[in-house]
C-alpha cells in the first residue's frame, strides 16, 4: 500500500512537471509567432524588431522563465541537475570542446565556397540566442520532464520518450517562425537535426555544449534560406551585444535560479 502511494505521488509530480513544461513551450511558441513570424523578421530584419523578439521570446520566456520553472521542478525533485544538464565546470569544458570541434568540421564540410567567413560568424551569432531558448525549452524542460514521466517504464524506454518528445516539440515549434521554417516539409526535415541534437544532449547531459552543437547545425540552413545573405557580410555590433545579453541571461539563470535554488537538496 505504501509503495503504491509513493508511486502515485511520483507520478503526480511528473505529470505536473510535464504540464508546466508544455505551458512554457506554448507561451514561447506564441511569442515567437507574434514577434518573429507575423513581422516577417527573418527576411526583413530590423534592430528594434530583432531585439524585441529575442529579448521577450527567447531571453525572458525561453531562458529565464523556463529555468525558473526548471528550478521549481528541481526543488520538488521531479527532475535532477544531471538530467537537465547543468554540470560541473570540468564537464562543461570537455563537452564544449567536443561540440566545437564537431561543429567546426561540420560547417567546414557544408559551407559553400562562395559564402564569406564573416557571414558564417554572423549567422552563428544570429542563431545563438534562439538556440539557447530551443535547448532550454525543448530539451532541458520538455524532454527531461517527459523522460521523468515514463521513468517507471525503465531507463531505455524513458530515454526514448525524452528523445522523441524533445525532437517533435522542437520541430512543431517552428510553426511559429517565418517561412520557410513554418512549412510542413521543413518541419519534417527539422526532425533530423532534432534527433541529432537529442542524441548529443541525452548522451552528454550537458546543456552549454548542446547549445553550441545545435547552433552549428542551424547556421547553413539559416544562411541558405536568406534572400539577401549579404546583410550578414559586415560587422553587426548590435547583434553581438544581443548575443552577449542572451549568454548572460543563460549563465545568470543557471547560477542564480537552478544551482542556488537546489543547494541543500
Q: Name, in order, each residue with C-beta under 8 angstroms of 150's C-beta and a sequence gap of 6 or more.
A: 157, 158, 161, 162
pLDDT grade for 78, boundaries at 50, 70 and 90: confident
pLDDT of 246 > 80? The answer is yes
Q: Report pLDDT for 265.
A: 46
pLDDT of 49 > 80? The answer is yes
- The number of distinct structural domains making up the chain is 1
Distance CA 187, CA 133 (A): 18
CA dihedral 218, 221, 222, 226 (to 10 degrees): 170
Q: Name, in order, each residue with C-beta under 8 angstroms of 223's C-beta and a sequence gap of 6 or more.
A: 115, 119, 120, 123, 229, 232
**Domain limits for position 131:** 2-261
**Span between the terminal Cα atoms of the chain, in Å:** 27
Q: Name, in order, each residue with C-beta under 8 angstroms of 80's C-beta and a sequence gap of 6 or more.
A: 74
* Digit-coded pLDDT (tens) for 145-164: 999 999 888 999 999 999 99
Cβ(60)–Cβ(46) below 8 Å? no
* Digit-coded pLDDT (tens) for 21-45: 999 999 999 999 999 999 988 878 8
Q: Name, in order, each residue with C-beta under 8 angstroms of 136's C-beta and a sequence gap of 6 or more.
A: 62, 63, 66, 67, 70, 207, 250
Distance CA 149, CA 160 (A): 12
Distance CA 150, CA 157 (A): 7
pLDDT grade for 261, boundaries at 50, 70 and 90: low
Distance CA 112, CA 41 (A): 24
Mean per-residue pLDDT for 186-213? 97
Residue of 256, 247, 21, 219 lying closest to 129 (CA atoms): 247
C-alpha cell at 239: 547583434
pLDDT of 235 > 80? The answer is yes
Distance CA 259, CA 125 (A): 27
Cβ(130)–Cβ(124) below 8 Å? no
Q: Which residue has the higher pLDDT, 198 or 6?
A: 198
- Taken as a whole, the chain contains a residue count of 265
Amino acid at each position: 500500500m505504501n509503495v503504491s502511494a509513493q508511486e502515485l505521488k511520483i507520478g503526480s509530480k511528473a505529470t505536473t512537471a510535464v504540464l508546466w513544461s508544455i505551458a512554457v513551450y506554448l507561451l514561447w511558441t506564441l511569442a515567437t509567432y507574434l514577434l518573429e513570424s507575423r513581422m516577417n523578421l527573418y527576411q526583413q530584419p530590423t534592430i528594434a524588431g530583432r531585439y524585441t523578439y529575442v529579448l521577450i521570446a527567447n531571453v525572458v520566456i525561453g531562458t529565464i522563465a523556463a529555468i525558473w520553472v526548471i528550478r521549481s521542478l528541481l526543488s520538488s525533485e521531479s527532475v535532477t541537475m544531471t538530467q537537465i544538464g547543468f554540470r560541473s565546470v570540468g564537464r562543461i569544458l570537455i563537452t564544449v570542446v567536443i561540440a566545437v570541434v564537431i561543429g567546426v568540421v561540420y560547417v567546414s564540410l557544408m559551407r559553400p565556397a562562395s559564402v564569406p567567413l564573416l557571414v558564417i560568424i554572423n549567422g552563428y551569432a544570429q542563431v545563438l540566442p534562439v538556440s539557447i531558448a530551443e535547448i532550454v525549452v525543448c530539451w532541458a524542460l520538455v524532454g527531461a520532464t517527459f523522460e521523468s514521466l515514463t521513468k517507471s517504464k525503465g531507463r531505455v524506454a524513458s530515454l526514448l520518450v525524452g528523445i522523441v518528445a524533445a525532437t517533435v516539440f522542437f520541430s512543431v515549434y517552428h510553426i511559429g517562425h517565418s517561412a520557410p521554417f513554418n512549412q510542413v516539409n521543413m518541419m519534417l526535415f527539422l526532425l533530423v537535426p532534432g534527433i541529432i541534437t537529442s542524441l548529443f544532449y541525452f548522451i552528454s547531459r550537458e546543456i552549454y555544449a548542446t547549445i553550441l552543437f545545435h547552433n552549428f547545425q542551424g547556421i547553413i540552413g539559416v544562411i541558405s534560406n536568406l534572400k539577401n545573405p549579404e546583410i550578414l557580410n559586415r560587422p553587426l555590433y548590435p547583434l553581438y551585444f544581443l548575443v552577449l545579453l542572451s549568454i548572460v541571461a543563460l549563465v545568470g539563470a543557471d547560477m542564480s535560479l537552478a544551482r542556488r535554488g537546489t543547494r541543500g537538496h
